[in-house]
Structure 1
Amino acid sequence: MITRLAVAGYRSLRDLRIELGPLTLVTGANGSGKSSLYRSLRLLADIAQGRIIRSLAEEGGLPSTLWAGPESYSRGMKAGTTPVQGTVRTNPIRLKLGFSGPDYGYAAELGLPPPIPPSAFFLDPEIKQEAIWTGETIRRSNVFAKREGRSVRIRDAEGVWQQIATGLPAVDSMMTHCAEPQAASELLDLRERMRAWRFYDHLRTDRDAPARRPQVGTYTPALSDDGSDVAAALQTIREIGDERELDHRIDDAFPGARIEISHERAHFDLVMHQRGLLRPLGAAELSDGTLRYILLVAALLSPRPAPLTVLNEPETSLHPDLLEPLARLIGAASLNGQVVVVTHARRLVEALAAHAPCRRLDLSKRLGETIAGEDERASWTWP
């Protein structure tokens, strides 16, 4: 489980350090930094997938994602007695991402490449440093993998540093290129955990959504991030997961309703039986809210729970009456894996707080910087 998350130099997250629980609710007004926090978690997952450079490029390149304010604020700036203005920099321009838990911690630092030689890819960031350590807090004695520039070193079983790479490309992470079962088993273990994180913020329910059409079905222990394989995911829950819980969650939101998966040859399709109707409704006939709730059920009742599931505004398209059942569904899912919910729906926040122990982070802006309250600031040291 992740207990601490730290982000520095990313959009409005100048220096955010927060603690997470088994169920964490991230709330705040529009523009407070909720989406930036969500994307920072996705960037960490992208490092383990080898996609971090492309992901930042799709956001406009590293310069477009960096903190746009001064490196630090003077007392007068904070008090409003002097205007906010740039200061003489004391540190290089960097984007830093990190997290830690009871067993492992990881941090990465990204920056721009040198201007010489000139290149058309000057907006592509480079990975300058990486470190992995045991436990929540980094110390000199508990770091067991370190990357500086192109060099990667790992401690062996006797605690002696061993050089395992000297020419690692600046666009590649040691997570993807140095993890192997013999010399770096802990690195491999952490990478696979991060690759198992799941993010849901684009569950499509529009008229042309793939979830509304029959799809080729195979065993699907984890719903895809766009929900296109929902029928196969629900059938997988029925066969190797908790079928009774699936029926209960559908009935909790739509009393008397049940879902079925039709499968002709290799194509799977979702149909829903509702009380009072003479025939079931196909996925193409369901309302956006009904289909979205079913997608969330498929995501959160996975027979292979993720170590971390992040939901970005799951209340979208849902009728207010569905927020209570959704809160109960999320609360139950948090018992099997860590869940982070980013939302601005007050009713969902209140329902979640009533149905499950949760940690609440209320984000706000101060001088353009996202803050989570001074008392929420977690202890953190960058490598």
Structure 2
Amino acid sequence: MILTLAVAGYRSLRDVVIPLEKITLITGANGSGKSSLYRSIRLLADIAQGRAIASLAREGGLQSTLWAGPEQFSKAMRKGEVPVQGTVRNKVVSLKLGFADEDYGYAIDMGLPADAGRSYFSMDPEIKSEALWAGEALSRSNEIAGRSGPMVRVLNDRGQRMPVVQNLARYDSMMTHAADPKDGLELLVLRERMRAWRFYDHFRTDSDAPARAPKIGTRTPVLSSDGSDLAAALRTIYEIGDEAALAEAVDDAFPGARIEIVVNDGYFEVLMHQKGLLRPLRTGELSDGTLRYLLLIAALLSPRPAPLLVLNEPETSLHPALLEPLARLIERAGRETQVIVVSHAKPLIEVLANNRCCVRYELRKDLGETLVEGGDAPKWTWPKRS
């Protein structure tokens, strides 16, 4: 389970360090920074996939994602006595991401490239430092692997920090290029954990949505991010997952209803039997909200629970009557999986907030900066640049 999440210099998240629980609920008004926090976690996951630089490029490059306010706010600025204005910069420009779980912690620091303006790729950020450590907060004594410039050093079984990579490209992470069963086992373990994180964000439910059409099916213990394999994922829950929980989840949301998976020439399709109807409804006939809820059921009842499951505004397109059943579904998933929910749906928030395993954070903006209400920031140390 992730114990601490840290973000600095990313969009409105100037400096955020928050403790997480089995279920973490992120709420706040529109524009408070919920989406930025969600995207920062996705960006962390992209590092383990070797996609962080490309992901930042899709957001407009480092310059478009960096904190746009001053390095520090003076007391007079916060009181409104003087306008917000730039100050003399004392620190380097950086975007930092990190987390600590029950075993390891990891952090990365990305900054402006040294050859800015001299390359066609000068908008790509440069990885300045990375660190992997044991425990919750980084220190000199618990660092297992560290990257400084092009060199990665790993602690060996004799307590020595030995170089394992000496010419790592500035756009490559040690998570993807130094993870090795022999010399970088801890990096490999943590990388695979991060690769197993799952994100579900605004499933498509329009008439051309991938989930509406029959698809060739294979065993699918993990629903894809676009929901295209919905029928196969639901059938997999029936065969190797919790069939009773699936039936209960459908009946809880749609009393008297049940689903059936049919196969024609290898193509899987969902049929929904509803009370009072003389025939089942095909996926293409379902309302947007009904289809979205079935997608959420498939995601949350996965037979292969993820170490981390992140839901961004799962209430989208759902009727208010479905929010309490959704909260119960999330609570059930939280028994096996750590869940982060980003939401502003009051009924969903109220039910989840009453769960003893849930912590709630309210985000608000002050002078363009996202501040976190609720809970004290845990100890955190960023890796130093060389």
Establish whether TM, by shorter chain, passes 0.5.
yes
Structure 1 pair 375/275, CA: closer, same or farther in 2 (3 Å)? closer
Single out whichever of 34-43 and 354-363 deviates more from structure 2: 354-363
* Alignment-mate amino acid for residue 206 of structure 1: D
Instruction: Tell me the residue number matched to 2:126.
Output: 126
Say whether the 8 Å CA contact 2:217–2:231 is kept in structure 1.
yes
Could you tell me whether the CA contact under 8 Å between 2:240 and 2:303 is conserved in 1? yes
Alignment of 1:1-383 (within 5 A): 1-115=1-115, 118-355=118-355, 357-373=357-373, 375-383=375-383
CA shift at 1:377, angstroms?
Answer: 2.5
Q: CA deviation at 1:80?
A: 1.6
The residue identity in structure 1 corresponding to 2:225 is D
Structure-2 separation of matches of 1:305 and 1:169: 34
Contact kept in structure 1, 2:5 and 2:19, CA below 8 Å: yes
Q: Summarize the Cα distance change of 1:375–1:21 in structure 2 as closer, same or farther, 3 Å threshold.
A: closer
Structure 2: segments with no counterpart, 5+ residues: none
CA contact (8 A) 1:23 1:340 kept: yes
SS in 2 for 1:224: coil
SS of the aligned residue for 2:27 comes to strand
| Contact 1:328–1:355 (CA under 8 A) maintained in structure 2 | no
Check whether the contact 1:3–1:21 (CA below 8 A) recurs between aligned residues.
Answer: yes
For the Cα contact (< 8 Å) 2:310–2:340, is it kept in 1? yes
Contact 1:327 1:355 in 2 (8 A): no
SS of the aligned residue for 1:348 comes to helix
Q: Decide whether aligned partners of structure 1 residues 355 and 133 sit closer, same or farther in structure 2, where only a CA change above 3 A counts.
A: closer
Residues 112, 182 of structure 1: CA spacing in aligned structure 2 closer, same or farther, 3 A cutoff?
Answer: same
Contact kept, 8 Å, 2:301 with 2:333, in 1: the verdict is yes
Shift in alpha-carbon separation, 1:354–1:32, aligned structure 2, 3 A: same
The gaps in structure 1 that reach 5 residues or longer are none
Identical positions, percent: 63
Measured in 2, the distance between the counterparts of 1:47 and 1:235 equals 32
Is the CA contact (8 Å cut-off) linking 1:331 and 1:356 kept in structure 2?
no
Distance 2:382 2:370 in 1: 19
Conserved? CA contact 1:271–1:282, under 8 Å = yes
User: 1:367, CA displacement in angstroms?
Assistant: 0.9
Q: How far did residue 355 of structure 1 move?
A: 5.0
Matched to 2:323, the amino acid is L
- The whole-number CA distance in structure 2 between the counterparts of 1:167 and 1:103 is 28
2-structure distance, mates of 1:62, 1:224: 28
Cα-to-partner distance string for 1:296-344 (whole Å, 9 max, x where unaligned):
0000000000000000000001000000100000001011010000001
Deviation at 1:356, TM superposition (A): 5.5
Q: Per-residue CA shift, 1:245-302, capped at 9, x if unaligned?
A: 1001001111111111111222111110111111000000000000011000000000
Matched AA of 1:241:
G
Q: Is the CA contact 2:202–2:314 (under 8 Å) kept in the aligned structure 1?
A: no
